[in-house]
Structure 1
């Protein structure tokens, strides 16, 4: 595209690419450009182009659906949609334009929120879509909250009513026994940037994509602290990592229990990332659904996963993936460890 000799037409893909490049980056195309970084450039792209980008990917054949949505990058001031299919196999990655989402996935997505999906083979699909659309229209695709007037006034104490452990101790005048979750697992993913060239000549394009090559975890339980990691040299290393996380979670679940068996509590084992809600979770999202475990709860949007609970189908151990930055002000990892973790980094 940066050749001095003009070898393309003004209406070709190369010409359009150069025009988009100038709109996004505010300069002409040059040799220093390393390609579109999907992880870091997508927000600026949708803001300047005023377009919503919906990302789909392909799952294993034993999963249903095989094609499913993993991210929705939304622009609040636009209704234009752009759908892409992300195919990742080891170190190879491809991004393809999707012209018909329904034909690809076998599901019809809500035209308003773009999140709710309806199986096309469902004989009652029109009825279900109509019901959902009526609710969706009331609040522009957001969750519709209902106000219920109680006959008698009730105190608003969510920190008590939403925590079964604290609620039990409060009722029995044993609040002093309440303790925070002491043992947990942390994780971090390292990636490298992969550049894929599609086509050649005047239709050539270069796409960049982040591919995970290493994942590490630190486990804190009663016996102490230890770490483990897996990398791309091992087959299905993300699945192997999850296998070990579930194994480690068995002991952490026991260590977090109250000595009094009568005290009720949730037994999800925290798996904590730092600034992971937008990037780290998306890299392991497809691995969170398999023949051995499944996602039972997802809190957040299609872009930012505030909390994901994954349950093992055999052991019934539940992992709660959370981002530490969701619960504190924005800061660096070093400052987080110093101010909140009470430690230092070397």
Structure 2
């Protein structure tokens, strides 16, 4: 393609077809002035493509370079890729869009009500700058402070706007979890053998920890309906009465007990999210339910992280490294309920128990 463009001194616009959305689009532009210094098979040095003096180069720059439009379609025949090239004479009819004749980067829909106004305005400006894309930074008329703790928290932003920040409250209700493991002997050698005929190698894998059970405690707002339910226990906190509920899963429930636990956590998170809302329904509250572990980022998360993505739920965001996740947000695909796995140790100062 480059050889053809250099020899014939032409520009080529290549159009493609999107099989998913069923439309044609301009995918690539090859301009003679940008690739004329590229070495081709028939030209063994870049100096052969350069002009001898400034006068010749100026004459070439003033020369009108014709542009051709082609449609590139790929196909397969007997496990071999085949490409068909079609000459396009009416690009507007092919793409149903009107492209700028100077930059070929901006397109306009002729059916739009403001098509003529937008098209004429862009073409006039693009002609002045010669079809070049010039990026400009547009600043706001007034500077705004960097306050992510307000802008990213719609609850606090609402209370601040209504002069009611004294009503802002911490998260009272959450879920905790803890895993128990069992050691399984492996005794497998790997690495470089110590001798030519020896089965013993320079490294040995002695054992591996496998999850045995998982337990969670759910803290909820106390309701009178919990009085006759043995699954809930009433406790007293500085903020009032609360209910405690515990769930437990182990290998006796099956090899997929971790998946069962995550599914139950999503169910419990629905009530936790409702209890964390404000009594005043006008105050917005849309926060993830916190699933808190203790030193879990270095240990527990390695046991269940592979179960956080399946056909029912998926990971929305992951902060940290694969070996130590500081925060993992998981969303249920049907209910859109979000839970957030965090480690309490990430929010405390390191201490020496001695």
The normalised TM-score by structure 2 is 0.49
Shift in alpha-carbon separation, 1:150–1:319, aligned structure 2, 3 A: same
Tell me whether 1:294 sits opposite 2:314 in the alignment.
yes
Question: Could you tell me how far apart the structure 2 residues matched to 1:284 and 1:320 are?
Answer: 14
Question: Could you tell me how far apart the structure 1 residues matched to 2:147 and 2:333 are?
Answer: 34
Shift in alpha-carbon separation, 1:220–1:148, aligned structure 2, 3 A: farther
Question: Could you tell me how far apart the structure 1 residues matched to 2:272 and 2:337 are?
Answer: 10
The normalised TM-score by structure 1 is 0.50
The CA RMSD measured in Å over matched residues stands at: 2.6
Q: How big is each residue's C-alpha offset from its partner over 1:246-300, in whole Å with a ceiling of 9 and x where there is no partner?
A: 1111111111111222322223111000111121112100111111111111111
Q: In structure 2, which of residues 264, 269, 272 is the aligned counterpart of residue 249 of structure 1?
A: 269
Question: Could you tell me how far apart the structure 2 residues matched to 1:206 and 1:288 are?
Answer: 27
After the TM superposition, which residues 1-346 of structure 1 pair with which residues of structure 2 at under 5 Å, given as runs?
152-198=142-188, 202-203=199-200, 205-223=204-222, 224-235=243-254, 236-331=256-351
Shift in alpha-carbon separation, 1:248–1:176, aligned structure 2, 3 A: same
| Structure with a larger share of its residues in strand | 2
Aligned residues: 188
- Structure with the larger RCO, 1 or 2 (CA within 8 Å, 6+ apart): 1
Higher-Rg structure is 2
Question: Could you tell me how far apart the structure 2 residues matched to 1:177 and 1:287 are?
Answer: 38
Shift of 1:150: 6.5
Shift in alpha-carbon separation, 1:216–1:203, aligned structure 2, 3 A: same
Shift of 1:187: 0.2
Shift in alpha-carbon separation, 1:331–1:317, aligned structure 2, 3 A: farther
SS at match of 2:349: coil
Question: Could you tell me how far apart the structure 1 residues matched to 2:209 and 2:249 are?
Answer: 17
Q: How big is each residue's C-alpha offset from its partner over 1:110-154, in whole Å with a ceiling of 9 and x where there is no partner?
A: xxxxxxxxxxxxxxxxxxxxxxxxxxxxxxxxxxxxx99876443
Question: Could you tell me how far apart the structure 1 residues matched to 2:186 and 2:337 are?
Answer: 39
> Which runs of no fewer than 5 residues in structure 1 stay unpaired?
1-146, 336-346
SS at match of 1:173: coil
**Which range moves more in the overlay, 193-202 or 261-270?**
193-202
> Which runs of no fewer than 5 residues in structure 2 stay unpaired?
1-136, 191-197, 223-242
Question: Could you tell me how far apart the structure 2 residues matched to 1:164 and 1:155 are?
Answer: 17
